Amino acid sequence: MTEAPPIDLNNIPKHIALIMDGNGRWAKNQGQHRLFGHAAGVESVKDIIKTSRELGVTYLTLYAFSTENWSRPSEEVEGLMNLLVEAISNEVDEMHANNVRLLTIGNIKGLPGNCYESLCKAMDRTKNNTALTLVLALNYSGRQEIINASLRAHELMQQSKISPEELTEETFASLLQTKEIPDPELLIRTSGECRISNFLLWQLSYTELLFTDTHWPDFRRDEFIDAIAQYQKRERRFGKVSEQIKQPNE
């Protein structure tokens, strides 16, 4: 690390989720095609993974392609899929060398064949890595994830493997694709929009939400560290009152 960040390294969120928005607007501002913005966005992805690894973030979830994104022009969808395959093939060695594990959420079987195969290969290669888990949300819908978990709960009840009384928040969470992943403490969305857009609907219940006007291609290390600093100033009450949270000497 080049300089000490203005943050408490003992209070780094374990899991940070990111809605990477604004690639298209960033490109348009420069008179460029939208895909130029997505390609620049890949550079931000690399920088944020590297910084997460340095700071000791253990899970980083990136909203890379939603089920709604299929309705974009086919040229853009195809370009995004190609960028993804290219980024994985270029970066998997370095990810592996840095002890980064790749996981996905969403229906990756619905992605183009070459994309699905390169993701499976990269996940298999990095499956025993332990420092940082990079979770790519691809062909992902938070509502669909909840429907799938509900169908699974129904199936388990029909097979008498669980009773309705046993369907607690914890059991339900174990039926989601994020079953082994702690809920994010912090969600960051770039580019000025203040909405969740069908991302991690169950998992974000108590997450701190942070919105920045910066377009994703300009969102780099310093602003990421600043976002963590802002998170550290917030008081997470989980429904309690302030006095119940504070330490006696505060």
129 is a catalytic site residue: no
Catalytic residue among 10, 23, 29, 69: 69
The smaller minimum CB distance to ligand FPP, of residues 144 and 232, is found at 144
Q: Does 79 bind ligand FPP (CB under 6 A)?
A: no
Q: Does 92 bind ligand FPP (CB under 6 A)?
A: no
Residues 6+ apart with CB under 8 A from 225: 5, 6, 7, 51, 55
Q: Which stretch binds ligand FPP (CB under 6 A): 82-90, 148-156, 170-178, 220-228?
A: 82-90
User: Which of residues 5, 13, 22, 106 is near ligand FPP by CB under 6 A?
Assistant: 22
The smaller minimum CB distance to ligand FPP, of residues 12 and 45, is found at 45
Report the candidate in 188, 162, 186, 159 with the shortest Cα–Cα distance to residue 174.
162
Q: How far is the CB of 30 from ligand FPP (least distance, A)?
A: 12
Report the candidate in 206, 225, 218, 187 with the shortest Cα–Cα distance to residue 19.
187
21 is a catalytic site residue: yes
Q: What is the spatial distance between Cα 200 and Cα 223, in angstroms, rounded to a whole number?
A: 23
Judged by DSSP in three states, 244 sits in helix
User: In the bound complex, which residue of the shown chain has the CB atom lying closest to ligand FPP?
Assistant: 24
Backbone angle region of 200, left / alpha / beta, with phi > 0 → left and psi within -120 to 50 → alpha: left
Judged by DSSP in three states, 64 sits in strand
Query: Interface with ligand FPP by CB under 6 A: which residues?
Result: 20-25, 38, 41-42, 45, 62, 64, 69, 80, 83-84, 87, 136, 191, 216
